[in-house]
Each structure stands twice: as structure tokens, then as C-alpha cells.
Amino acid sequence: MTDADFSLAIHGGCGVLPRATIPAAFAADVRAALAASLDAGATILRAGGSALDAVEAAVVVMEDAAVFNAGHGAAFNAAGGHELDAAIMDGRTLEAGAIAGARAMRNPIRVCRAIMASGDFLLLQGDGADDFARQKGFAIVPQDYYGTEQRRQMLAEMKALAAQGATARANEAQKHGTVGAVARDRHGNLAAATSTGGYTNKPVGRIGDSPIIGAGTYANNATCAISATGKGEFFIRKVLAHEISARIAYLGQDLDKAARDLVLVELPEWKSGAGLVGVDRSGNVTMPYNTEGMYRGVVTSRRPAQVAIFED
């Protein structure tokens, strides 16, 4: 691809409802939200805007969509509350901003962008993250804004399975979910953004991979941009997103091989459901996952917008 090209890939998590049980209306809502997310980011990229602006815009749309586990629609923790994690990273400068365990901000990814712009600190957690959002004038919401009836039902199901010692029987949608975006703009710059409510029935205070730079979120113009979805504890242990970048930089692997080796070969050895979207410095996109499906979409200057849930 030439330097005039752009690429955008998004995911709404590999925590999808099983194909046999997913309601047609819900699947249609997911596809519509993915399409809106792609359009928000692609509109910026087509106009010559930055990859950073594009991934932020794409993730905001998914944070506002009740069908995804981020922002409105976030998973419940074990106490019946919500704690949100998110991060954004600029591949041109390697600057980043992140929040963890936030409980009151409407759009965590916007707050991450403001943290990055502050230039003083990178990661804020809990009350400190929410206080920063208030001070900067971001939209603040009550806890019940995040919850949906579907997420409440998933919490009840997970608690019932836990009481039986049978959480391994849970499907991916009951366990977790995340949203994310990666982009390459017409100037050759990369960016990544990820946002999540974590996994259903998680312990209060648990922090996953999404806000950990190099684990669930990473961008470097020299190599690639990555946003991951799945059981974050494994991604932290693998330093997954940076590991893909390192394999490109030091082993000479291409993006697709580096990503697929981790997601399809190595993580299954740990019985880890996982997926990711990635884009490299040339604009090539990869979207591997090892679960039944992954909410995802892609658009480039040479490829019309496409969204999918399963292998369809």
C-alpha cells in the first residue's frame, strides 16, 4: 500500500453470543453499531485526519452502544457495580493515556485522550480517574447508566455457575467483552484504542489488559497498532500487543503471522479465548480470533466497509 492509503479495523469483543442462540435482532443491532463505528473513524481518515482521532471516534460510538461491553452496556462486577478500563496510544510519538477502575465517566476513551494530552502522567485509576474527568468537563453518569438488562442477566448466570463450581461452562459472551480500534492514516501514522467493562462477575478492583500499554493496547509507527480482546490476565502475562510488535521488529515476521501465532497457537495452550485487530506500517490489517466469533469490521482506502460476527 502507498503512503496515500488509510486503514481502520475495529472489534466489539470476542465475547460473542453463540451462533445457535444469538437473536437476529441483536445481531442486526451489533452490525449496525459496528458500521456506525467504522463510518465515524473512516470519515476522519478520508478527510486526511489523524489515526488518533479516528480510533477515538470509532471507540466512542461503541462505548455508547448498549450491545458492547464498554461504557453503556458494561459488564457487572461481583458486587453488582461497574468499573471501566481503557487506553489510547499514538504510534507516532509513543504517547499514551489510560484509565482503570473508573465508575462515573460516560466515555472512558475521551478521558484517556485527555490524560495523554496532559503530558504529565499516563494512567489514572478509580476515583482519581473520575475526578480528572470531572475537572476536564467530560460527561459524568450514574452507575446505572452502564448496566443493561442483558448484562444483569449475564451476572445472574455467572453467579449461578460460580455457585456450582462450573464457570468453565460459561460461553464467551457471559465471560467478557471489549471494544477497540486501530488505524493507519494517510500520513503513515498508527494509533490504537481499547475500552472495556472487564469480565462479568469480576472481583471488585480487578484491572485487565486494556489499560496496560503493551498488553491489550499498543501502537508504534515502526511496526504496528494492536487492540486485543479476551481474558486479559493472559495478555498481561504475554505482554501480547508489544510481543507482536517485537516479533515484527526483531524476527522480521509480518503482522499476520505474528498475530496469528499468538492468538491461534500459543494462547489456546492456556485455554485463553482471544482475538485482536491489528494494522501495520503499510496499512495491512489482521483480525484473528480463536473463539466462535468476534464482532469486527474493517475499511481501507481500497476496501469498502465490511462488518462480521462469525466466519461469514
From 2, 93, 167, 178, active-site residue? 178
Location of C-alpha cell 466489539: 12
Cβ atoms of 227 and 192 within 8 Å: the answer is yes
Dihedral (CA of 213, 140, 130, 92) sign: positive
SS3 for the chain is CCCCCCEEEEEEECCCCCCCCCCHHHHHHHHHHHHHHHHHHHHHHHCCCCHHHHHHHHHHHHHCCCCCCCCCCCCCECCCCCCEEEEEEECCCCCEEEEEEECCECCHHHHHHHHHHHCCCCEEEHHHHHHHHHHCCCCECCHHHCCCHHHHHHHHHHHHHHHCCCHHHCCHHHHCCCEEEEEECCCCCEEEEEEECCCCCECCCCCCCCCCECCCEEECCCCEEEEEEECHHHHHHHCHHHHHHHHHHHHCCCHHHHHHHHHHHHHHHHCCCEEEEEEECCCCEECCECCCCCEEEEEECCEEEEEECCCC
How far is residue 49's CA from residue 150's CA, in Å, rounded to a whole number? 36
**Per this entry, what is the length of the chain?**
312
Nearest to 211 by CA among 197, 222, 225, 224: 197
Is 178 one of the catalytic residues?
yes
Q: Which residues are catalytic?
A: 178
